[in-house]
A = this chain, B = another copy of it.
Amino acid sequence: MNKLVIVGTCAFDEIESPFGKTGRILGGAATFIGLSASQFDIDSAIVSIVGEDFPQKNIDLLKDKDINMDGLEIVKGGKTFFWKGKYHNDLNTRDTLVTELNTLADFEPKVPQAYKDAEIVMLGNLHPLVQLSVLQQMDAKPKLAILDTMNFWMDSALEDLKKVIAEVDVITINDEEARQLSGEYSLVTAARKIHEMGPRFVVIKKGEHGALLFEGDDIFFAPALPLEEVFDPTGAGDTFAGGFAGYLCQTDDHSFDNMKRAVIHGSNLASFCVEKFGTERMQNLTEKELTERLLRFKKLTQFDIELS
């Protein structure tokens, strides 16, 4: 089995949406990425940091999905990263109410020895220099390094961000971030400018409006599945990235055609994530459900027009 290293937060989230509110629940980029990638036949490991307040049952939940947790540092007396947010009525915008970095402030990720030869490294949203340090720990350049980031680092650490962008093969960001990073409004032009910064593949996430994959002049678009009820978008982007990385890790094929499939698998997994609060829907997802929904993606997008 191919190996996937996942770096990112394991966290507590507290969420308010028009549909209700949660207490402190399991969250974090690495958690969502790991749960999503665990749907594939791979050997994955999470590299993260939490405090002593992080319950063993959360760690066991991830271990039960065959995710190696040796790279999870538990800081004695420390507290786990905490995020509290409130979604507006349209669920497309949200206010951050609380961010407590806690142990994350001093996170120095350590990739377990057994995973330093991993085929794929998935860098969840973190400070760019923290992401870079993970790549530097690998035995060799991985076959594929995937970077997720956000506008916060464009505002506060742009030069560091550019350094890690130059080292990765794939970047996943949302449409507004792509525009900010490139200074271009057209996503086609934005993607080309981001290509020039390093990554061979650029994935632009547009939330309920789907995702675009760019490789040079090749473009692929996957819609988000139109859903009757969206409950909580938290983690949808990470779940997308986890499905994308997990599928690529399983198949070990980085052709554009296979990257397309990876985007569809990522979109498919993300469509489940938003149906319940937090990780709830991702914890008990069957292969049958995934396959049925892939069929819906096919019906949603496939057409036949004969071109002479």
Contact = CB atoms under 8 A, between A and B. Distances in A.
Interface in A292-308: 294-295, 298-305, 307-308
B307 A264 contact: no
Interface in A184-226: 185-189, 206, 209-210, 212, 218-223, 226
Contact of A291 (B189, B226, B261, B307): B307
A106 interface: no
Interface string A233-270: 00000000000000000000000010011001100000
A260 B303 contact: yes
A26 interface: no
Interface in A11-25: none
B230 A186 contact: yes
A291 B308 contact: yes
B230 A226 contact: no
A303 B264 CA distance: 9
Given A221-B223, A226-B188, A229-B186, A305 B301 contact: no
* Copies of this protein chain in the complex: 2
Nearest to A187: B226
A187 B188 CA distance: 27
Nearest to A296: B219
A212 B226 contact: yes
Given A219-B226, A226-B221, A257 B304 contact: yes
Interface of A: 89-90, 185-189, 206, 209-210, 212, 218-223, 226-230, 257, 260-261, 264-265, 291, 294-295, 298-305, 307-308
22 contacts: A89-B185, A186-B226, A186-B229, A188-B226, A188-B228, A189-B228, A209-B209, A209-B210, A210-B223, A220-B300, A221-B223, A221-B301, A223-B223, A260-B303, A261-B303, A264-B303, A291-B307, A291-B308, A294-B305, A298-B305, A301-B303, A302-B302
